[in-house]
Chain A
């Protein structure tokens, strides 16, 4: 018999298979953040030699954020062709459709995270393995929620693709900038800090930095965990409802 886990695996492996059969695109996309890292890191103020410690977890979050926000983009096409409808008629559990598709975007990003970390080691980057693994779990939860929201957005954008891209592009950059991924928020004006405080991604980014640095039992970890859990629950709830209503 099937379970939520086997259903998720079915969806996940279906989604990933075309990529595995044609791995060139994924290899190419994996190198992109390295270029970003190489060009951006030298610009960061690095008085005490901790720029990489601060920046690398942020870059990993950024890749996962971009990737999972694209979860719905493949779906747009499959809604048009009819293969999404065919999935909806199968007994696959609805959350598995959301989680499986989101994981297809996230898992390659975790391979990328390993690559980024490895490349940064010779430049003095240090991390705590336990903390990093826990950090990736929190990140995965957040991205599943975001992926489910992206899926919902694709359902809502049926027959009007521009809507998907407009909303995705409009939201992704404020979300990113207001989480202090590229530049620290601490010195910003009050209104900006208030917005950052309302941004769940801020807590996830803070948690990633603490965890990669080995600060496992901290309030940052708890904050990140909570923010990720809330986003995951919200995304899955909204996504399952949207699937029931879509026509």
Chain B
């Protein structure tokens, strides 16, 4: 569905996208994850023909994004960061215009608009001015517009930015339902870790315009971070004994063990400690997040605040 080689975009001195090789197969749901300014949106804008690459190549839906722009545009849907619907327009009018823009007949556009209005719960607001709609309603209208021509490849740029958690969850549901029903290939950018984690079966981590990791969330976490078992002890001497038994680093009355498949290992560890006479008083299993992965890969956190939120090394270890 998508094939890029050395795709790059430079703005004056800034290498916004610095050589990306990417292959996306039909039916995949891929999340591009990275801090603000990492080059996610710029990549998306090149793939959707909005801006020409500085160098490299990209084929989208079978056509070159520079030489065959119209062919690409006919086959993709794009939901940008802003609101697609004009604020002085009415939602239904915009949906019909959008259908016409893709060459659908007036009648088909109307029918399809009505379907989407219904399925996205916009019936009550579709005939009001867009400017009077709430943020969540506008976002659903954007989704409807991106879907009017039932594209087989859909791009979403930060689809849930600015939405409250409830609307975010709704939106994610809609996207997943869409995919289940039509086997749409979906590429979305996000800086919400949980979103990438829960939705995508493939996460591409981008930083400074380059792909630094590309795998399923589970494998990314297993490979780069692993689970962590934290054992607490009543006394320092128990902790010291346990540290010797398990050959694990001790921090005060705590032991930190990094491992794969932690939940399956905990019972055995507890048994071993009991047998050695240093029973644990408490135990906690921490599954890694994608933020841990990003932190491991770049030394920076991806949490709200973006690239600037650099953590100190001490905190990283704990």
How distant is B132 from chain A, measured CB to nearest CB, in Å? Answer: 13
Determine the distance from Cα of A93 to Cα of B97 in the docked complex, in whole angstroms.
14
| A82 B81 Cβ-Cβ under 8 A | yes
Interface band, chain B: 20 to 34
A247 touching B98 in the complex, CB below 8 Å, given contacts A17-B93, A86-B145, A89-B73: no
Residues in B with CB closer than 8 Å to A244 are 52
| A83 B82 Cβ-Cβ under 8 A | yes
Interface residue? A197 (CB, 8 A)? no
| B76 A89 Cβ-Cβ under 8 A | yes
Residue from B48, B74, B84, B88 in contact with A82 in the complex, judged by beta carbons closer than 8 Å = B84
Determine the distance from Cα of A245 to Cα of B53 in the docked complex, in whole angstroms.
11
Residue from B11, B70, B82, B90 in contact with A81 in the complex, judged by beta carbons closer than 8 Å = B82
Interface residue? A85 (CB, 8 A)? yes
Residues in B with CB closer than 8 Å to A83 are 82-87, 94
- Grouping DSSP codes into helix (H, G, I), strand (E, B) and loop, the A interface class, with mixed when no group exceeds half, is helix
Residue from B48, B49, B76, B103 in contact with A2 in the complex, judged by beta carbons closer than 8 Å = B103
Q: List 22 A-B contacts (CB under 8 A).
A: A10-B97, A10-B100, A14-B89, A14-B94, A17-B90, A18-B86, A21-B90, A81-B82, A82-B80, A83-B82, A83-B84, A85-B50, A85-B80, A86-B82, A86-B84, A86-B85, A90-B102, A91-B74, A91-B102, A92-B101, A93-B70, A247-B45
Interface residue? B123 (CB, 8 A)? no
Interface residue? A7 (CB, 8 A)? yes
Interface band, chain A: 20 to 34
A-B CB contacts (within 8 Å), total count: 81
| B145 A17 Cβ-Cβ under 8 A | no
| B86 A81 Cβ-Cβ under 8 A | yes
Using a CB–CB distance below 8 Å, which chain A residues touch chain B? 1-2, 6-7, 10, 13-14, 17-18, 21, 77-78, 80-83, 85-93, 244-247
Residue from B45, B73, B81, B90 in contact with A90 in the complex, judged by beta carbons closer than 8 Å = B73
Determine the distance from Cα of A17 to Cα of B101 in the docked complex, in whole angstroms.
15
Residues in B with CB closer than 8 Å to A17 are 89-90, 93, 97
Determine the distance from Cα of A95 to Cα of B249 in the docked complex, in whole angstroms.
68
| B93 A14 Cβ-Cβ under 8 A | yes
Closest to B78 in A: A89
Besides the contacts A13-B97, A89-B50, A91-B74, what 14 more A-B pairs have beta carbons closer than 8 Å?
A: A6-B100, A7-B101, A10-B97, A17-B89, A18-B89, A83-B84, A86-B80, A89-B49, A89-B73, A90-B102, A92-B101, A244-B52, A247-B45, A247-B51
Determine the distance from Cα of A182 to Cα of B82 in the docked complex, in whole angstroms.
44
Residues in B with CB closer than 8 Å to A2 are 103
How distant is B161 from chain A, measured CB to nearest CB, in Å? Answer: 12
Residues in A with CB closer than 8 Å to B50 are 85, 88-89, 247
How distant is B57 from chain A, measured CB to nearest CB, in Å? Answer: 18
Residues in B with CB closer than 8 Å to A1 are 103
| A86 B78 Cβ-Cβ under 8 A | yes
How distant is A82 from chain B, measured CB to nearest CB, in Å? Answer: 2
How distant is A206 from chain B, measured CB to nearest CB, in Å? Answer: 38
Residues in A with CB closer than 8 Å to B70 are 91, 93
| B87 A77 Cβ-Cβ under 8 A | yes
Determine the distance from Cα of A87 to Cα of B101 in the docked complex, in whole angstroms.
8
How distant is A20 from chain B, measured CB to nearest CB, in Å? Answer: 10
User: Which residues between 5 and 64 of chain B lie within 8 Å of chain A, taking CB atoms?
Assistant: 11, 45, 48-52
Residues in B with CB closer than 8 Å to A246 are 51
| B87 A14 Cβ-Cβ under 8 A | no
